[in-house]
Amino acid sequence: MTAPVLSMQGVSKRFTLHHQNGVELPVLDNVDLQVHPGECVVLDGSSGMGKSTLLKLAYANYRTTSGRIQVLGNSGTLLEVTQASARELLQMRRETVGYVSQFLRVIPRVAALDVVAAALTDGEISSPAVVADARAQAAELLVRLRIPERLWTLPPATFSGGEQQRINIARSLIKPRALLLMDEPTASLDVANTRTVVQLIREAVARGSAVVGIFHDPDVGSDVATRRIDISCFRSNL
Amino acid sequence: MTHFEASPLLCVQGLSKRYGSFTALHEAAFDLWPGEVMAVVGESGSGKTTLLNVIAARMQPDHGSVHYRMRDGALKDVHAMTQAEQRLLARTDWGFVHQHSAEGLRMDVSAGANVGERLMGLGHRNYGQLRATAQEWLQRVEIDPLRIDDTPRIFSGGMRQRLQIARNLVTSPRLIFMDEPTSGLDVSVQARLLDLLRQLTQELRLAMVIVTHDLAVARLLAHRMVVMQRGRIVEMGLTDQVLDDPQHSYTQLLVSSVLQP
């Protein structure tokens, strides 16, 4: 079998709230998880159990209390996520790991089309050909996600929740990545768009991406999952 | 930051500074890489501005060192340079944007002359070319080039800050220091300035150290964040890490005190 893209070994996460009398919130304990290319692992469990926390640990958005997280980079090197420097983590996010949250953090004054194309141009001044190609790919995705063309040149700040979410999905999926972490990407989408997102996830998995996802809609979960994990097995008994 | 650079642009080690018995800065240390934007946050009096001034060689540290990678690749101790060398660095490869624009601009000369000054300092004398460059930079920072002969005294606060930025960027520096560049501006003006800064740092691959007390500014602009309290760096990490999962009790207090970081 090929090497896992994501490997978590004995990972635990505890929050210490210094201003609530130093109370400790144990969320995850002893997470052992390996995710391989072409797998779509769906996390199950009721809210507050730590599903999002697991994704955030893998993305290095949260800091691991103990244990080991490894991500297989594009060049075949293993990155020790809990030890990596800020720039190694940023490179990991640029090249290997995508994260789709429910919410778009809006960038003022940037047109929707360019928000989506940004992952391909990396924000730097790129050659006109690269920019044109990135925009063409972005446009294709926006069409598939039913964002009306008249919105493409507008900054997404004023878009509806569902439109913003689709922009967010498009910007995260435009660049093929080895690992996709998805936190309720279909939460506020209608049926047709949910089907499109399911299709996009399946295409990514078919291309060899590994996906770890949380889906509130059980149908979506069963449509995309190649494996399901109940998060409660990673709960600490503290 | 597409190209993975082999070495840092700036190496700060064990930097300390006292004012009498007051410790303004204690053992600050970090590396800054080309194209990297680092925010320094903390409440007033925490040592943010002292850190910035010491790094930018505007102030001598009591202990510690700041090394800068020159364009030829050599790593130089900025506090061991002669004043002339420091001035040259500050006027070419570095920029400094002040909180109060009056400190960073010449208020009684034209906007065009403000932008052209650093180039003239480097020996550029062709008036037509200087004026054309100034016009181009005014446009880039979204100031109407027709205002080129006006003095910044009659500019709005937001325009003055943008003029400061143009004045600094005209020599294509690789490192910019910013001290609270958005404080004192209206919220809408702030957003425009921030967005402009975000675009310029990305397009020009500028490294930046930005001092701010505004966590939203840090979130929008910075790759990394340093949290200071009583002259010490108490926490450091990716910006979203520090804001979303703060470890230190002071950082938790800062983050929880803001309505929407």
Measure A90 CA to nearest chain B CA, in Å. Answer: 8
Using an 8 Å CB-CB cutoff, list chain A residues near B220. Answer: 107
Model-level pTM? 0.92
For B28-51, how does the pLDDT look when each residue is reduced to its tens digit (9 = 90+)?
999 999 999 999 999 888 999 999
Q: Shortest CB distance from A122 goes to which of B2, B237, B247?
A: B2
User: Which residue of chain B is at minimal alpha-carbon distance from A109?
Assistant: B195
Q: Do B25 and B47 form a contact (C-beta atoms < 8 A)?
A: yes
B1-93+173-261 has which CATH code? Answer: 3.40.50.300
pLDDT over 70 (residue B131): yes
CA B72 – CA B91 distance, rounded (Å): 17
- The pLDDT of residue B3 is 47
CA distance A12 to A214: 19
Q: Which of A64, A87, A106 to mutate to test the interface with B (most CBs of B within 10 A)?
A: A87
The pLDDT mean for chain B works out to 93
> pLDDT tens, A110-129?
899 999 999 898 756 678 88
| A89: nearest CB among B203, B238, B248 | B238
**Residue B141: what pLDDT?**
94
Q: What is the CATH number of domain A6-108+160-234?
A: 3.40.50.300
Q: Please name which of B53, B59, B78 lies closest in space to residue B67, comparing C-alpha atoms.
A: B78
- The span from the CA of A217 to the CA of A194, in Å, is 10
Residues of chain A with pLDDT under 70: 1, 123-125, 236-238
Strands in chain B per DSSP E: 10-19, 22-32, 37-41, 63-69, 75-77, 94-97, 175-179, 207-211, 224-229, 232-238
Return d(Cα A13, Cα B241) in angstroms, integer: 14
Band (B188; pLDDT cuts 50, 70, 90): confident
pLDDT of residue A236: 66
d(CA B190, CA B43): 19
The domain locations on chain A are 6-108+160-234
Q: Which helix (H) or strand (E) holds A94?
A: helix A86-95
Query: Would you kindly state where each structural domain of chain B is located, as residue ranges?
Result: 1-93+173-261, 104-172
| pLDDT tens sequence across B50-90 | 999 999 999 999 999 999 999 999 999 999 999 999 999 99
> Quick one: average pLDDT of B163-168?
96
Which residue in B has a C-alpha nearest to residue A86's C-alpha? B238
Residues of B with Cβ-Cβ distance to A60 under 8 angstroms: 238, 241
CB contact under 8 A, B249 and A122: no
pLDDT in tens, B86-100: 999 999 999 999 999
Is A109 in contact with B195 (Cβ distance < 8 A)? yes
Query: Min CA distance, A83 vs chain B (Å)?
Result: 12
Report residue B44 as tokens.
């007033």
Of B114 and B261, more confident: B114
Q: How far apart are CA B250 and CA B229, in angstroms?
A: 7
Q: Which residues of B touch A61 (CB under 8 A)?
A: 238, 240-241, 244-245
